[in-house]
Amino acid sequence: VDLLQRAVTRFLSSLMGRTLAKGESERAIALIGVADDLESIGDVVVRDLLRLAGKKIRLGQDFSPEGLGELRAYHARVAALLADTLGAFDREDREASLGCLARARDAIADEALLRRSHIARLSQGLSESQESSAIHLDVLHCLRQIAARLEDLNRTVLGRT
């Protein structure tokens, strides 16, 4: 992911060294920002989420059924947001991007609610929640980071950097 991002950035930077129309230059700058956001998302997945999955397997920890359900639902929302954001970007669809921007902000805010829900399970003494607490909270944080990068990406599409 890092190599691809650097190649895209180098290519777009070289284009900007040429005489480009104003719209083309602005598009190249936006594409550099998008490449950076996508590279950061890839880093979160490869560096953080895969490491956490390996740790969970290695330690043999399970999430509580409620916690697992919340993580799956939050992951599904962020994954759908990623797909929709990329589609809006590809189509240069400002209306869809506005919707994705609102959904990204909601996903970012909802991470705090999910943390509180997890902490409530901890206070109830659920052993599964206690054993996997650090991993659970780290996964929530990673998904929030992805949603924040998608918020940035949608602002780029909308020209609001």
Predicted local confidence at residue 9, as pLDDT = 57
> Tokens 């909601």 sit at which residue?
106
Q: How many CA atoms lie within 13 A of 148 on its CB side?
A: 11
Predicted local confidence at residue 27, as pLDDT = 73
111-132 pLDDT, tens digit per residue, is 999 999 999 999 998 788 899 9
Burial 54-88 (b: 16+ CB within 10 A, else e): eebeeeebebbeebeebbeebbebbeebbebbeeb
Predicted local confidence at residue 33, as pLDDT = 81
Predicted local confidence at residue 64, as pLDDT = 93
> Tokens 């330690």 sit at which residue?
59
Instruction: Using 70 as the pLDDT threshold, list the residues of the chain that sit under it.
Output: 1-25, 160-161
Question: Model-level pTM?
Answer: 0.85
8 Å CB contact between 126 and 64: yes
